[in-house]
Structure formats: structure tokens, C-alpha cells
Structure 1
């Protein structure tokens, strides 16, 4: 119940909840753009229905993402004002560009896309959703540029106790930016695809004859996107972790539960529980040689342990800080992320196989539809676990090697105020989450033919004389 722990919990809570909707909105925007493009090419009305139906789901995720993003930004002034003072010159530039350029572009073209279905030609209209998708990805790039500086500071100098930017191009050339960006964008593709496939599976469990073909086609498209995204995620994640071996060896060693430098080749722990006080492993179940293969792509090579890395950090930065991150949290978060990533790859591949034209077994097996439906929630768990690995592994720094967590907290906050705002935020997020779930369920219940039915009813209403006797007898 310390000020630091409560401030960290509040920032984690607001960020995790916001990050639920960032990959959700980017991924579904990409899927909707592909649907509308297919409609423009094929002229098949079913793809227009898919575009409008899943477009409504995308709009809900976008709206909630905006609201939660605003709440998250409050954190910098509320609980992390000293961090803001230290990082303002660096953080301000990419965040300003994100808000004034990328988000402005995204919201503007989104508004045009929403309200110009009958005003633009199909070819012009589809360009709008692609611009929205592109802008949302660029928005993520600028956020990750700021975050990457915290992981690997570059293009700066220290003046009067503050980090001052000396090269804007150095921020963009930071290798950390592109490893993070590739990993995050690949994750959004998986998220959008698996959500569409999962929600379609739930609807097929309660299918109506008229809607079955629509959800089957949506399910197949979602599975194809999630399969492509899952392959890209594994590649991007592998490259990012190999980069961390030299850049943040403490984070890498913690994700693998390695306290003492291994022999060559190094064994990989499937299960591990660390004694974080005594800095040793209490229990582990290992696969020989596997860590060397994962880390270096060959069956040889040692991995430096946390105890040795800690000595290097103490010599470089002093002994007043504890440089050991929360090892068990990192170890299991990494495996949750990788495990669910592998699960989504497997489910996507098997789902496509069992929905092939020759033998579409999946549609006839309720348990298969239930498995796929429950997978709707897996990208949220995987994305959250990945974020925890990225941020917790930097402990005890907010800006690696420059500024610690203890230095970053606002000097005028109290335990009471933090506890109160934590409770308020938790209740607020619970309400927003319940509202979001309710609205998504409402859209699903309406179905893909809702707008057409309303239009047909309106058309019939125009043909009825309101003063005719028969109109009152209906």
C-alpha cells in the first residue's frame, strides 16, 4: 500500500484496459478494409453486408479506445509528474505528432467513411477505410517511438536534470521501435481475425438459416487473418527477444528464469518457480539444449544469468537500486503470451482445415464452435502478458539507465488519494467493459440483415397513406 506500488498499479490498470482496445480496433479496421475491398472487386453484396456489420463492431472498439486513452493520459499529470518533467522534451514530440497528425487523420477519415456510403463511389469510399487503417497503425508507431526511448534511450542529452532531445531522427532509427512496432502490428492482425472468427462461431451456435452463410464466410476470413498474423507474431517476437539478449540481458534472463550463467548448450525451462529473495530457482522442468536453439538459432551458446548481470549493473549504476525484476511474473507472462500465441496459430490452421468445402466438419460440431468462440478472449490475454513482459522487465527504471520508478512518482500524491482513485478507476472500467460487452452483444443479436430490414420497413412506410383505414388496422 505504498505510494509507488499504488501509482504503478493504477498506471498498469489504465494501460492494460486501454490496450485491450488498441489491437482490437486496428485489427478489425484492417479486416473491414479487406471486406470492403473484396466487395469493390467482386460486386458481391454479401461482402458489403460484412463490411457494415463488422464495421459497427470496429466503431465500438474505436470509441472505447478513445475514452480509455484519454483516461490513461491523465496518469502523467496525476501520479507521474516528475517523470513528465524529466521526459517531457522527448515524450512531447512523438505524442504531439500522434495526436495532431495520426489521430486527427484517423478520426477525420473515419467520420467520412461512416457518413458517405451514398455520397462516394465504392472505389472512393474504400480508400477512406484504408486511410483509417493506415493512420491507426501510424498512431501506434508514434506511441511506440516514445515507449522505445524508455527501453533504449537514444538521441538525447541531459541538461539541468532533464532529458533533452538532440536528434529526432535518432528516435525513429532506434532499433527498439521497429522490433516493437512489428510485434504489435502483427498482434493486431491476430486480434482482429480471431475476434471476428470467435464471434462468428458464437453466432453459428445460435444460427438462423438466413444468417448461416454470412457467419461462415466471416469465420473463414477471420481464421485466415489470424493465421497470417500468428505466423508474423512468432517471427517478430523471436526477433525482438533475440535483440534483448544483448540490449536488456536482465529482462531476457528473467523471462527464462536464469539466475546463474548457463553452460553451453543451455536448457530451456518449461516450468519454473523462483525464490526471488534468495535469487535462485526452487523448482524447474527443463528441456536440454532448447534455450540455446531459441536464443541463438543453434544448439550451442550460453545465456548470462541474472546474478552476473546484476553485478554489471551495480558496477555501472551503483548499488543503491535493486536491479532484479519480478522474475516469476515475467517468466509466466512470457509463457502465457507465447502459449496463447501458439494456441491461436493452431486453432486458426485447424479451423481453416475443418471448414474446407469438401468436409466442413467444424460447423457440425458444437464443441468445435465453442472452442473457437472461447478463443475470442485469447488475444486480450496474450497482448496483456506481452505488455507486462515489456514493461516489468525494465525494472527498476522508467527510462532505462536514466530514471528510476521511485524518482518518477509525483511528490504531492498520498496513499489515500491513490487508493481512492484506484477504486474509482476500477469501477469506471468495469462499467465501460460491461457497456462494451452489452453493445457488442446487441449488434450481434441484430444480425447482418438488420439495416436492410429497417430500410425495407421504411420504404413500405413511405408507401402507406397514414390516414387510410387499413393503416390503422395493421
Structure 2
């Protein structure tokens, strides 16, 4: 029953997270695109750019509102479904999560309100500052949640306290500057920029195909393909950095992504295609590209990449070390009320304390890790292997989509420089049809990041199986049904609102063009300011 609760709790959080991430990328990207459009309006004074800003701003607002409402539930789940996790790491995890809440619900909400209701109450420059505050606030909100998530992948700046039996902060600056968190942030926001660029490009292409709002659509497509090409290229570069850090901090995740069962000699090759066979621990019909994984994973030509089988053997050693640390910890806690802990126990904790979490991997197989048999240690070591098939294919879908976005954005960018965006109708149709693809790629990315960390909720520290609340399986199942129902309704509502706004199109702006910022009038004409 306990394992059922773990599986159901994981399923609940996975589904709410995947639903929530349907809205996050578009919010991140549209906030920047809208800010770019309004900057152009302020610099040129041309009303069409104000019209574009308002139109895409409405779509941003709809998506932002639904995204915030779905994100609230995720934060509450840490207390409801993952209470031991919250107790164990609350001192560390709670700070960035609280700051993210302040960013999302106070800073962003305030500026979003000013963006929509301040058009005729502020100067152009003042409203532009508000728009950039919306964009920066959205991205800062993502930064803090990814700092929290990055710490789960690479728990730096913290230490285990045997007195309180909790993880505690030792250096908050290290938590903030965690290289895994920084890489995840720039990679995630760049993916959001690509998502919004594909969305704007596709909607603009649809308008051109329909012969509606063509002037606005072409300008929107130009912004989207220019911004999107830069973002798509950066996603690939930043993904390379993530791969390198994964090799350093999460070797099992990288081996599973590659379906690499045996250690690959240097320089390791990249498996372009294959069929992972988990039962026999081999990959059938593998098509490999020499050297590529060695360059991505190690940035060298002489460093091998460890395979799953070798990492499992290393895991056995860490579990055995962890058992010693676990036994010493129990002795220290038993002696806390009687005086100074035994120096021998302290010495064992200092030597093997970093492997304490590996002893907890035995909990699903034996009540007391100190009583574990070799067979149970073998079981715990094998549990270190995450689901290879889903990771292997999710990663390749994500990467394949990324290179497709570079190609599409590159072609449209070239056409925009030649003022021929409408010269190939099949390309316009392609731009419309690929609108859902960035969301598929983003969801695959989160599957790689989160499923690849299993069986850990905190890498090397706390297994997922020990982090759940003491709830009944029926209670968790009921909440899953409720959340899926509510989130499905919210998704349908958002899709309806977005499609209605797109069909309605931008509102006409019949006023005259505004003076160019920094220009002065000379006998009824515009001249640069002296």
C-alpha cells in the first residue's frame, strides 16, 4: 500500500506539473515579444506596433491568468502530498519557493494590471517600463522556482544535521549560484522564447493565409522568426551545457538517456536511434554518431562515460557505505541524551555520511537497512536505474524538435529579409501545423529532467519513496481525479478564450501615428531633436 501511495503521489504531481507547464513557456516568451513590440512602438511612434502590442498582450494575459491559477496547486502539494520532504528540506527549499511566490503574485500581478489599464493613463515611456517589468518579473519568477528545482538535482550549499534529522543551509549563495540551476534557468526560458515565437509565427501565418490583418501579421512574423531563431540556437548551446553538467552530477541520468548499458570508451558516441531493452540490458539496432556524446558529455576526447551496469555496481558500494553511516547515526541518536557521541561513530559519519541517502534506498525492501541482505542490496542498487525507454525517446523528440525549430526559423528569417514571407503557402501551412510542437518538446524536457532523477527526490540524499505524506491511497486517487478534471476544464477554457481572441483579431486603432520619440516638429513635419 505504501508503494501505491508513492506511485499515486508521483502521478499526481507529474500530471499537475505537466498541465502547469502548458502555460509557463508561452508566458515567458510572449512577455518578451510584447515588450519588444512596444519598444518598437515607442521608438517609431507607428500605431500598428501599439496595435500589435495590445493584441499579443491580450493573449499573454489569458495565458498568464491560467498559468498562475494552476501553479498555486503545485506549491500546496509539497505540504499535502510530500510532507516529509517539506520537513526534511524546508529550510532550503522553502526560501526560493517563497520568493517565487512573491514574484508571481505581487510583482507580476501588479505590473500586469498596470500594463492592461495604464495605456491612456501613462506616458509611452512609463508604459514601456511597465511592460518590461512584466517581462522581467515573469522570468525572475521562473528563476526562483528553477533554483529550487536545481537544488533537488544538485544539492549544494547544505548539510545534514544529525540532531534535527534535516538538511540545513550552510551557504545560501551556493544555492543561488548552483551551476545546475543556472543552466536549467537559461535553457528553460530560451525554450519558452522558442514556444512563443512558434506560436506568434503560426498565428501570423494563419492570418496571411486567410488574408486578414496581413500588415500586422507580417510584422509579427518578422519579430517572431528573428527572436525565435536566436532563441532556438541558444537552446541548443545551453542544452549542451546541461548535458555537460549532467555528466558531472547525474551520471545515471545521462547513461539512461543514452541507453548506455556498458561504459563507453572515449570519445563516446551518440546513439541517434535504437530500441532500449531493459530486461536484457542492451540496445537493439543502435545507430551511433562517433565522438558526439564524448564532446557533449565530457568536452574531451579522452574521458569515457560510465554505463548503467558500472553505475549500478558503484551504487552497491555506496549502499554498503551508507549502511555504515546509518548504523553510526542510530548509535549517535541513541547516545544523545547520555553524553558525547562515540568518536568512532562520528568518524564513520564523517567518512561515509555523504552516502547516507543510499542506505535509505533499502527502506522499500527491508525495515532496518542495517539488516539488509546481499540480495536486498542488489535490489536497491538496481532501483537506481530510471525508466530507460521513456528517457531515451523523450530526449530524442526534444532534440529533434529543437533542430526543426532552427530550420523553420532560419527559413522564415531569410524570407523576412527579402520581404517574401507570403511567397510560399506551404511554408505558411507548416508554420500553423507546428504550433503544438514546442509544447511537446517542453513536456519531453521535463520528463527527462524529473524522471531521470528517479529514484531520488533529492539527488543522492532522499529517495522519493520516503518523501510522501501518510495518506490513504484512496485519498490521493480522489485528488488526482479532481485535479485532472479541474485542470482539463481550465485548459479547455484557455483554449476557447485564446481561439476566440485570435479569430476576433486585433482591435482597430484609427488614431494618427504618434511622434517619433525624441523628435520635434518643424512646420508640420518631424525632425530629429537637436
TM-score between both structures, scaled by the size of structure 2: 0.81
How far residue 300 of structure 1 moved from its aligned partner, in angstroms, is 5.1
Q: 1:430 aligns with which of 460, 477, 488?
A: 488
Of stretches 313-322 and 215-224 in structure 1, the one that deviates more from structure 2 is 313-322
Counterpart of 2:398 in structure 1 is 337
Counterpart of 2:286 in structure 1 is 284
Counterpart of 2:387 in structure 1 is 326
Give, in whole Å, the separation in 2 of the partners of 1:452 and 1:42. 17
- Contact 2:5–2:471 (CA<8 Å) still a contact in 1? no
- Contact 1:103–1:135 (CA<8 Å) still a contact in 2? no
How far residue 290 of structure 1 moved from its aligned partner, in angstroms, is 3.1
Counterpart of 1:472 in structure 2 is none
The number of equivalent residue pairs is 448
Q: CA 1:279–1:93 in 2, change beyond 3 Å: closer, same or farther? A: same
1:437-448 pair list within 5 angstroms = 437-448=495-506
Give, in whole Å, the separation in 1 of the partners of 2:43 and 2:316. 61
Give, in whole Å, the separation in 2 of the partners of 1:20 and 1:172. 26
Counterpart of 2:336 in structure 1 is none
Give, in whole Å, the separation in 2 of the partners of 1:399 and 1:22. 23
Give, in whole Å, the separation in 2 of the partners of 1:150 and 1:413. 26
Give, in whole Å, the separation in 2 of the partners of 1:273 and 1:162. 42
Give, in whole Å, the separation in 2 of the partners of 1:214 and 1:101. 32
1:185 aligns with 2:243: no
How far residue 451 of structure 1 moved from its aligned partner, in angstroms, is 6.7
1:137 aligns with 2:139: yes
How far residue 298 of structure 1 moved from its aligned partner, in angstroms, is 5.3
1:380-419 pair list within 5 angstroms = 380-414=439-473, 416-419=474-477
How far residue 173 of structure 1 moved from its aligned partner, in angstroms, is 2.2
How far residue 297 of structure 1 moved from its aligned partner, in angstroms, is 4.5
Of stretches 165-174 and 249-258 in structure 1, the one that deviates more from structure 2 is 165-174
Q: Which has the higher helix share?
A: 1
Counterpart of 2:364 in structure 1 is none
Counterpart of 2:60 in structure 1 is 58
Counterpart of 1:126 in structure 2 is 128
- Contact 2:401–2:438 (CA<8 Å) still a contact in 1? yes
Counterpart of 1:352 in structure 2 is 413
Counterpart of 2:16 in structure 1 is 14
How far residue 190 of structure 1 moved from its aligned partner, in angstroms, is 1.1
Counterpart of 2:248 in structure 1 is 246
Give, in whole Å, the separation in 1 of the partners of 2:72 and 2:57. 23
Counterpart of 2:518 in structure 1 is none
1:160-175 pair list within 5 angstroms = 160-175=164-179
1:221 aligns with 2:223: yes
1:262-301 pair list within 5 angstroms = 262-297=264-299, 301=303
How far residue 295 of structure 1 moved from its aligned partner, in angstroms, is 2.9
Give, in whole Å, the separation in 1 of the partners of 2:184 and 2:278. 28
1:371 aligns with 2:426: no
Counterpart of 1:259 in structure 2 is 261
1:138-153 pair list within 5 angstroms = 138-153=140-155
How far residue 281 of structure 1 moved from its aligned partner, in angstroms, is 2.1
CA deviation string 1:44-68 (max 9, x = no partner)? 1110000000000000110010111
Give, in whole Å, the separation in 2 of the partners of 1:153 and 1:314. 21
How far residue 73 of structure 1 moved from its aligned partner, in angstroms, is 1.9
Give, in whole Å, the separation in 2 of the partners of 1:157 and 1:305. 29
Give, in whole Å, the separation in 1 of the partners of 2:167 and 2:267. 41
Indicate the SS of the match to 2:470.
coil
- Across the aligned residues of Structure 1 and Structure 2, the Cα RMSD in angstroms comes to 1.8
CA deviation string 1:167-200 (max 9, x = no partner)? 2212112111211111112112212211111111
CA deviation string 1:344-374 (max 9, x = no partner)? 111000122234435x1x5243322121012
Structure 2 residues without counterparts, runs of 5 or longer: 319-357, 360-376, 512-530
CA deviation string 1:279-328 (max 9, x = no partner)? 22233222233322333445554221111112222212353351001111
How far residue 203 of structure 1 moved from its aligned partner, in angstroms, is 2.2
TM-score between both structures, scaled by the size of structure 1: 0.90
Give, in whole Å, the separation in 1 of the partners of 2:503 and 2:269. 51
1:17-28 pair list within 5 angstroms = 17-28=19-30
Rg larger for: 2
Indicate the SS of the match to 2:471.
coil
1:40 aligns with 2:45: no
Give, in whole Å, the separation in 2 of the partners of 1:78 and 1:297. 42
